[in-house]
Chain A
Amino acid sequence: MIVNEQVAIDHGLKKDEYIKICELLKRTPNITELGIFSAMWNEHCSYKSSRLHLKKLPTKGKKVIQGPGENAGVIDIEDNDAIVFKIESHNHPSFIEPYQGAATGVGGIMRDVFTMGARPIANLNSIHFGSPQHKKTKNLLRGVVHGIGGYGNCMGVPTIAGQTSFDSSYNGNILVNAMTLGLVKKDKIFYSKAAGLNKPVIYVGSKTGRDGIHGASMASASFDEKIEEKKPTVQVGDPFTEKLLLEACLELMAGDSIIAIQDMGAAGLTSSSIEMASKGNLGIEINLNKVPCRETKMTPYEIMLSESQERMLIVLENGKEEHAKKIFDKWNLDFAVIGKTTKTKKIELYFDKEKVADIPVNTLVENSPMYDRKWKKTKLPKKNRIKKEDIKHLKIIDVLKKILANPNVCSKQWIWEQYDHTVMGDTIQKPGGDAGVVRVHGTDKAVAASVDSSAVYCWAHPLTGGKQVVCESFRNLISVGAKPIAITNCLNFGSPENEKNMGEFVECVQGIGEASDYLKFPVVSGNVSFYNQTKDQGIKPTPAIGGVGLIKNYKNMISMEFKEVENLVLVIGKTEGHIDQSLFARIILDEKNGPPPEVNLFNEKNNGETLLKLIDNNLIKSAHDVSLGGLITAVAKMCIKGKKGINIKKPKYLINELEYLFAEDQGRYIIEINKKHFKKVADILNKNAVHFDELGVITENELYINDKTKVTIDELSTSNKSWLENYMSK
């Protein structure tokens, strides 16, 4: 096939980019080379629109062992233990084929983690669907949940937490973000940097097929009506093979045979070999006839661009081939020496004794395009004034029930009961709480993780929204008694070529940066997913933040369910009555405009750290952060989970009752304490200048508000639990 500008454009490259390739090579690339450039230079692999802005994120900290740039981030959790974690998107494939798309998303992120030598110990996910009324939503939801479960359950890694939301902006482009945490000894972490000359390059895992060719390019394009035609670019997952690959890799890693290891994810053999060469400042030579293939007559182009799953590339020490092969034979996996490292700093590919590609590595990596895209700032919207007559007819309990049954608030039990969340025998906080918690096997330590996003806030004002998501992650970890350590982010946005969408990206990243810097909660890994749109309509900006924290003694973990009748309930943090962009404003008042709640980083940090002090002093019986649906929604959930009631007395604030109960002001937590500890707790809060309200006392089984309004917890529980079950069974 003759390569020209049109062929390059069909590969998703821009005209300028094609010219640049010809200049860099000082010739026209052949088709295999063009395929390699298109795979390396697309948005998904090159971060060409985002790199400039991602550089500004804080990525360092005392506990950070490895920041962005490796397969995953690594943090120190003491005693020579480290946690490897990352979140990644698999949005486009999941919309086209929900089961396989979601399954391979989970498989891919687990591979990123065990590539570094860590055994995966927990999975999380953040999944976002179109309006429940949209004709595709139900099947997509079912398919995605089955896919996540199908892969994670088979791998034997518990899925411990997640987030599910519905919004019409995802009607034509759902989001599936998967996160994995792995455990590794600090001195046994593996990296992707190749080193040494003439070292054998080894291919292990599944055979290469024609599936997923150009997957990464697809993930870098917008959807149109012809999307169904793209099904063949979705990879097919085989969790059984991945389980074998995990065990085989960990067995090999126990020794000292491996110099570098890299999983074949997006852009398969292309990106894995180039990344290893680039990091090691070396060349790699591969004989493509040696690559184990599943199908006959595969061309060099197809072999290099296949995204077949469950494959790894390893640079071994000389002479360790036999030892390594034995391990992979034991696990019935393919093992092939396909090439070697060279000093040429080039990727050189041979097929049928002919050289089929010859590209300097730096042209693919350092010289890849980087754009300073135009972007538009989003102004802070004006506040709405709530009119008395709009709310005076509202009955608190009716509103509360409506909010508890809202698709974005309701119980997601139908989803997480399909995920094995208890395998490995260390899950001490199951899904449905503020964060999932797993013990560090065989120790007193536990690791907490949560995943959050607030697309509505980010849409209303990206800068505030970006900050808010980081703070929410911080709060969720603190609510279970964990000290927040670091985050990973999955940045889901529309087209970077659209100034508004690009502006949302830039400002969300700025917000994330400011908050993570202030909270000492650095970003250690992540992924950008652009072009989440159908035709020219972008999704609401949806940065998903995965936070990880440490609990030094798992016996001190906190959970959200109310524990004991007669205990006192307090609210930490001040309620100002911010209604704009709250669920109350959107679904009860039908008001979609206005600014999101303000984020005060000082209060976030101070309130959170003070709560941790209270937890350290064993003064907290239960805790829960206040988020979507406001204070009363948070309290109701604690009642439902603990099967207890509460008698609430609104403090004498100037704001009215509905504002007090449903406002979504930030930096707040609900806590339960023993009455006899009140003075101690109040002293610590006062000493640290943390505002708090006394909210009420825990009772048997009813929720009372100011002695006049009441509802049974069973009734609230039914509202909260039935929506999703009913929706899925219809």
Chain B
Amino acid sequence: MKSSVITFPGSNCDRDMDVALRKFGFKNKMVWHADAELPKSDLVVLPGGFSYGDYLRCGSMASKSKIMQSVINFANSGGMVMGICNGFQILVETGLVPGVLLRNKYLEFICKNVFVKINNKQNKYFKNVNNEVLEFHIAHNEGNYFCTNDQLKEIDDNNQIAINYCDENGKIEDQFNPNGSIKNIAGIFNKEKNVLGMMPHPERMIDKSLSGEDGSLFFKNLINNLK
């Protein structure tokens, strides 16, 4: 399986993502934001970080990068595109997934482990994951997912919510919402479910010496689903 990770100026989880993808069997290529063409890929990842310093608005400048037109075309033709953290913010800015990401409710950067419940497994990202709840890791300042009521209705109608923040037993309640996201939304799909944007970083959970191993589970499953 071939993957591509895009490096924008200010990306800082690009290497971590590269390490994770290769660890679970992807042949990964790093792609520079100013390139025009995407290499042939089965998966494109927009990594975390602070593209363009998060100046102006998180993800907005990166969403206008030269490479992004190819990424958008790739997504629109059904290609798998995953945006993590800042990558999710970039996806939102391109309009590939609905909604916006606001500053965290308590106005502070949060770096910690969280639990997420998988809401929809009818897609290549989560199909065949046995667990209902995964322990992931978040590290962000602007992860407070917001959308209009109309958008929310559409998201619900199309079953576009990927994961929600919850407790270890899968209970989705306000107290387990780290950043104030609507309906505890931690990740969301486009209508066709080939594009996934999520705040948690599975690439930081790929080794039992790190914060946990549910990231390993996610990537192993993902590559199998793509085969």
Contacts and interface: CB of A to CB of B under 8 A. Distances in A.
B55 A554 contact: no
B49 A156 contact: yes
B203 A425 contact: yes
B16 A425 contact: yes
Contacts of B13: 156, 423
A413 to B, nearest CB: 9
Interface string A146-172: 100110011110000000000000000
Given A154-B50, A439-B209, A149 B12 contact: no
Contact of A243 (B16, B50, B109): B50
B10 interface: yes
Contacts of A241: 53
Contacts of B55: 240
Nearest to B9: A244
Interface in A417-431: 417-428
Given A425-B203, A439-B209, A240 B16 contact: no
A418 B53 contact: no
B209 A421 contact: no
A428 B209 CA distance: 6
A240 B210 contact: no
Given A155-B12, A423-B16, A240 B111 contact: no
A415 to B, nearest CB: 10
Contacts of A554: 209
B139 interface: yes
A428 B9 CA distance: 27
Nearest to A159: B111
A149 B141 CA distance: 10
Nearest to A426: B210
B50 A418 contact: no
A149 B109 CA distance: 8
Interface in A391-426: 416-426
A422 B110 contact: no
Interface string B201-227: 101101101110000000000000000
B114 to A, nearest CB: 11
B19 interface: yes
A512 to B, nearest CB: 33
Contacts of B141: 153
Nearest to A153: B109
B108 interface: yes
B211 A420 contact: no
Contacts of A388: none
A150 B140 CA distance: 11
Contact of A156 (B9, B12, B109, B211): B12
A97 interface: no
B210 A424 contact: no
Interface string A648-660: 0000000000000
A239 interface: yes
Interface residues of B, number: 31
Interface-centre pick from A150, A241, A243, A332 (highest chain B CB count, 10 A)? A243
A425 B209 CA distance: 10
B111 A418 contact: yes
B36 to A, nearest CB: 15
Interface in B34-55: 48-50, 52-55
B117 interface: no
Interface in B16-40: 16, 19-20
A452 interface: no
Contacts of B110: 417-418
A125 B134 CA distance: 32
B127 interface: no
A146 B109 CA distance: 8
A332 B53 CA distance: 13
B49 A420 contact: no
A29 B201 CA distance: 58
A419 B19 CA distance: 22
Given A239-B53, A422-B111, A153 B139 contact: yes
B139 A240 contact: no
A331 interface: yes
A555 interface: yes
Interface in A543-572: 554-555, 557
A320 B107 CA distance: 46
B210 A427 contact: yes
Contacts of B210: 422, 425-428
A665 interface: no
B16 A424 contact: yes
Contacts of A154: 10, 12, 50, 53-54
Interface string A210-241: 00000000000000000000000000001111
Contacts of A424: 15-16
A243 B8 CA distance: 11
A430 to B, nearest CB: 8
Contact of A422 (B9, B10, B211): B211
Given A243-B12, A332-B9, A422 B204 contact: yes
Contacts of B111: 153, 416-422
A621 to B, nearest CB: 16
A238 B50 CA distance: 12
Interface string A82-100: 0000000000000000000
Given A418-B108, A555-B209, A423 B53 contact: no
A425 B19 contact: yes
A229 B222 CA distance: 58
Given A156-B12, A417-B111, 5 more contacts: A240-B9, A240-B55, A417-B110, A423-B13, A425-B20
Interface of B: 9-10, 12-13, 15-16, 19-20, 48-50, 52-55, 108-112, 137, 139, 141, 201, 203-204, 206-207, 209-211
8 contacts: A153-B111, A154-B12, A156-B13, A240-B50, A240-B53, A418-B108, A423-B13, A425-B19
Task: List the 8 closest A-B pairs by CB distance, nearest first.
Answer: A156-B12, A240-B53, A425-B16, A154-B50, A420-B139, A428-B209, A418-B109, A420-B111
